[in-house]
Amino acid sequence: MNADTLSRIRIAVFGFAGLVCLSYSAMALAGNTPRPFSPWLPGASGFAAGLVMWLSAIKAGPRAAGMAHDELFWAEWGQAIRFSYWFSISLYPIFGILMGLDWIAPSTSIAAMGTAAGAAPMLVFCFINLRS
Amino acid sequence: MAELHNTLKAHRTDKGFTQASLAEAVGVSRKSINTIENRVFTPSTLLALQIARALECSVHDIFYVKDD
């Protein structure tokens, strides 16, 4: 297993975990329910993503893992984190308005905001990485 | 505005490196070499020096500033 394979695995697991979180958020909003499906799934998908990456890095060895996590990766991850920070901050006034208008329940807001904030860095990283 | 340009692809092919083999020699991903060549990614000073060392030339031979 080389650095390119590790990078592809990273995109796949980030994309998968990000989509699970985004789906949870979108379905919570659409159904106005804090529990559109098992609330363990977003967290479990994130944990599984980390586990798969960790095991893959061990299998590939320290040199390949270091090559896959080079300065380009950290630059792109940094961009994703910066965007996600402001995205997550912006959710507060948006959901505040929605709750103020009684369009969604506070419990639904917490579920949707939390999973959307969790999905953002992973999906934005995938977008930046696949675009470059 | 000054922009960083490079002749990395020409130097790399002159020395018989592929993107993958240069990445292996420097210890970064192939994509890093690709994005540097395409001016999508600006490498750190350390990486620029490592690339120059792998290609047995000066960093100034590969990277230069161009005023547009």
Range of the domain at A125: 3-131
- Interface predicted TM-score of the whole assembly (ipTM), two decimals: 0.88
Per-residue pLDDT of B35-52, as tens digits, reads: 999 999 999 999 999 999
**pLDDT at position A17:** 96
pLDDT tier for residue A132 given thresholds of 50, 70 and 90: confident
B5 touches chain A (CB under 8 A): no
Cα A86 to Cα A95: distance, rounded to the nearest angstrom? 14
Nearest CA in chain A to B42: A72
pLDDT tier for residue A85 given thresholds of 50, 70 and 90: very high
**pLDDT at position B67:** 83
Nearest CA in chain B to A128: B40
**pLDDT at position A1:** 82
Per-residue pLDDT of A34-44, as tens digits, reads: 999 999 999 99
**pLDDT at position B3:** 87
A8 touches chain B (CB under 8 A): no
- Give the DSSP letter string of A24-80: HHHHHHHHT-S-SS-THHHHHHHHHHHHHHHHHHHHH-HHHHHHHTSHHHHHHHHHH
Per-residue pLDDT of A62-79, as tens digits, reads: 999 999 999 999 999 999
Structural domain count, chain A: 1
A128 touches chain B (CB under 8 A): no
Burial A4-24 (b: 16+ CB within 10 A, else e): bebbebbeebbbbbbebbbbb
Q: Do A75 and B41 touch (CB under 8 A)?
A: yes
